[in-house]
Amino acid sequence: MNNSLKILNTFNLKINGYKISIIKNLQKLCQLWKKYKKKHYPCLVLGEGSNVLFLNNFYGLVIINRIKGIYIRESKNYWNLHINSGESWHKLVKFTLKNKIYGLENLALIPGRVGSALVQNIGAYGSSIKDFCQYVDFIDPISKKIKRFNNRDCQFKYRDSIFKHKNYKKYIVISVGLFLSKKWIPNLRYSSLKYLKNDNITPQKIFNYICNIRRKKIPNHKIYGNAGSFFKNPSISLEKGSKLLQMYNNMPYTLQDNCIKLFAGWLINQCNFKKYLYKGVTVHSKQSLIILNKFNNSLGIDILNFAIKIYNTVGNKFDVWLEPEVIIIDSYGEINPLIFFKKNNNN
């Protein structure tokens, strides 16, 4: 158990895996998966480890997905891209801009690979991958059967898709189909992009602006271990939201799907966590939603305990119970976060 996963998780945790294998084709992926499953070892697929929290060493096979390939077709009105799941998401965004295929620029500089981006339904600055997804191909690595889901089949929700749920965890996303309109319309709905509203806006300017914002807000994980936003932004009922807004008239919010969406970073910030350091774990000074392994020597359980402290403090203060965005993994695989974050937000 001396195969280090330290550079394969962005929290920079000093944990190991029993077996680590970089995979560049489907045949090898299925061979290894079947071999280790027959021996009753747990198996895990990682892209860049940018949205996971390991609590312990992993006693099984860790597959690093590097199955690559980008294929382009065009119709009269659309660019159609077929992308294998091991491609870097940010490099894909840069590739599309270089080839004058526009639409993904709002999703610039999000870490991870295309497969995990799809599973997570990544989103930022008024855009998400579900807006462009046409289909998803996935495989059962035991039977080697490949299936295709269209956009509706994927059941996309905020930071969620069908592939995050129990019945689909045995499948592995292998490729994604995206469609991008040839008639580009800038997406400037997000409030911080309003400054860009002028006649000279271009996809490259949006890309550059968002990259600059993200570099300022999100620390480099190689310096301070982190997984970006640890919690999702919560949605609550209009009734409950109006009561909170009466109590906290400076509370930022948006109206969405007949609910009030709050900003988890603001809620955490009201609880003074920027002054709190627990076993080398704290929140980022510029964005309280980001939990830092500040000295890169904390344990996974330290980060989890810190997150639970945030969860309980915010919940008790606002009666708003945050949901973790980060996937929690123990020695044998993914853990249901409700084991640790016990109160459901049913609002």
pLDDT of res. 346 = 44
Q: Are 137 and 86 in contact (CB under 8 A)?
A: no
Per the domain annotation, does 230 fall within a domain?
no
Q: What average pLDDT score do residues 4-13 get?
A: 97
Is 94 found in the same domain as 203?
yes
Tokens of 10: 């962005």
Catalytic residue list contains 325 = yes
End-to-end CA distance of the chain: 44
Q: What pTM does this model have?
A: 0.94
Range of the domain at 317: 235-339
323 is an active site residue = no
If you count DSSP H runs as helices and E runs as strands, how many of each does the chain have, helices first? 7, 19
Q: How confident is the model at residue 343 (pLDDT cuts 50, 70, 90)?
A: low
List, in sequence order, the alpha helices (H) in the chain.
26-38, 89-98, 114-120, 203-217, 238-247, 264-269, 300-318
Sequence letter at residue 304: L
For the question of residue 229 being annotated catalytic, the response is: yes
Total domain count, the chain:
3
Residue 11: predicted pLDDT: 98
Average pLDDT along the chain: 95
Is the pLDDT at 344 greater than 50? The verdict is no
Same domain, yes or no, for 84 and 191?
A: yes
Residue 227 domain-assigned (yes or no): no
In tens, the pLDDT along 9-35 reads: 999 999 999 999 999 999 999 999 999
**Strand-strand pairing, 52-54 and 327-330:** parallel
CATH of the domain at 261: 3.90.78.10
Summarised one tens digit per residue, pLDDT across range 205-242 is 999 999 999 999 999 999 999 999 999 999 999 999 99
CA distance 278 to 94: 38
Q: With the CA atoms of 314, 319, 323 and 328 taken in that order, what torsion angle do they form, in degrees rounded to the nearest 10?
A: 60
Amino acid 36: pLDDT: 97
CB burial class (10 A; 0-12, 13-18, 19+) of residue 249? exposed
Q: Are residues 151 and 97 in the same domain?
A: yes
Last residue of a domain, one of 65, 84, 114: 65
**Confidence check: pLDDT of 347 > 50:** no
The answer for residues whose C-beta is within 8 angstroms of residue 215's C-beta and 6 or more apart is 109
Identify whether residues 78 and 180 lie together within a single domain: yes
| 191: Cβ contacts below 8 Å, ≥ 6 apart | none
Question: What is the predicted pLDDT for the residue at 123?
Answer: 96
Set 105, 159, 161, 298: catalytic member: 159
At 156-181, the pLDDT tens digits run 999 999 999 989 989 999 999 999 99
Residue 176, both tokens: 């994604």
pLDDT at 318 exceeding the cut of 60: yes
**Does the residue 123 lie in any domain?**
yes
Tell me, yes or no, whether 35 and 167 share the same domain. Answer: no
Same structural domain, 319 and 258: yes
Domain for residue 229, yes or no?
no
**Cβ(175)–Cβ(85) below 8 Å:** yes
Do 84 and 49 lie in a common domain? no
The pairing of strands 43-46 and 58-65 is: parallel
Indicate which residue of 88, 229, 288, 298 is catalytic.
Answer: 229
Task: Look at the chain and count its residues.
Answer: 347
Whether residues 85 and 209 fall in one domain: yes
For residue 223, is it within any domain?
no
